[in-house]
Amino acid sequence: MKVEFVAAVQDSEVLAVLVHDGRSLSRAAAAADQASGGAVARALTTSRFNGKTNSTLVIAAPSGVKPGVLVLTGAGAEDAFDDLALESAAGAAYHAVKTTGAKSLTIDVGHLGAEQAARVAFAVRLAAYRFDKYRTTQKPDAIPSIEAVQVVTEDLRGAEAAFEALSAVADGVIFARDLVSEPANILYPAEFARRVKAMESLGLEVEILGEAEMEKLGMRT
């Protein structure tokens, strides 16, 4: 899946915008409401969605309005809004449409800073994680369809620079998740050590302890 930063909403099948607790619209949500002829406001009045963290509301935009699908993703209370709340909102937006058949998703956080835009991209990478290595069959409608995610920001260079470090963190998280997901007959101690040792190619220092070294250190669990 491709994740990139853009300066404005471009061609995309789905647009996700933040809504805070109490149905308080972010700048992007207000713009989407205006562009859709009040579709956002109408949807809010006829649903129980109120902007709480990890909640979403998917609505169809009026005919002729693009993107054709809007995702309102809860960002929680404005006075408690932080990186974690933002990452949760971004991940929830991805999960809301990942198997709908849509191939592209834009998350508009242009009103936020470059670091926060990078956090959105980071959250989407983690949300998209799947361990399908040994899966032999899948129902077609359960296979993720999103192929590209665009994050709107006013500071492209700043977001890309901030994401460089976060992307490395995501790589590490994904590596750890892969290790945890492997069955024991595949990831036995020697194989675990081999995979970790391979991380030296990235500049890491890796020390493998044998039985004697562990005994000396008192590792008798």
Q: Specify the pLDDT at position 61.
A: 85
Residue type, 218: G
Distances (CA, A) of 77 to 27, 49, 50, 54: 15, 14, 10, 12
Burial 114-129, CB ≥16 within 10 A → b, else e: bbbbbbbbbbbbbbbe
Q: Specify the pLDDT at position 221.
A: 65
- Strand 69-74, strand 56-60: pairing: antiparallel
DSSP H or E segment with residue 72: strand 69-74
The answer to whether the CB of 72 falls within 8 A of the CB of 17 is: yes
Q: What is the pLDDT along the chain (221 residues), one digit of tens a residue?
A: 999 999 999 889 999 999 999 999 999 999 999 999 999 999 999 999 999 999 999 999 887 778 899 999 999 999 999 999 999 999 999 999 999 999 999 999 999 999 999 999 999 999 999 999 999 998 999 999 999 999 999 999 999 999 999 999 999 999 999 999 999 999 999 999 999 999 999 999 999 998 899 999 999 76
Q: What are the backbone angles phi and psi of residue 203, rounded to the nearest 5°?
A: 100, 5
Q: Specify the pLDDT at position 187.
A: 97
DSSP letter for 52, please. Answer: -
At the topology level, CATH places domain 2-181 in Leucine Aminopeptidase, subunit E; domain 1 (3.40.220)
Q: Which two tokens stand for residue 64?
A: 């002729």
- Strand 24-25, strand 14-20: pairing: antiparallel
Q: What are the backbone angles phi and psi of residue 16, rounded to the nearest 5°?
A: -110, 135
DSSP H or E segment with residue 189: helix 189-197
Q: Specify the pLDDT at position 62.
A: 80
Selection from 99, 117, 46 nearest residue 57 by Cα: 46
Query: Domain limits of the chain?
Result: 2-181, 184-221
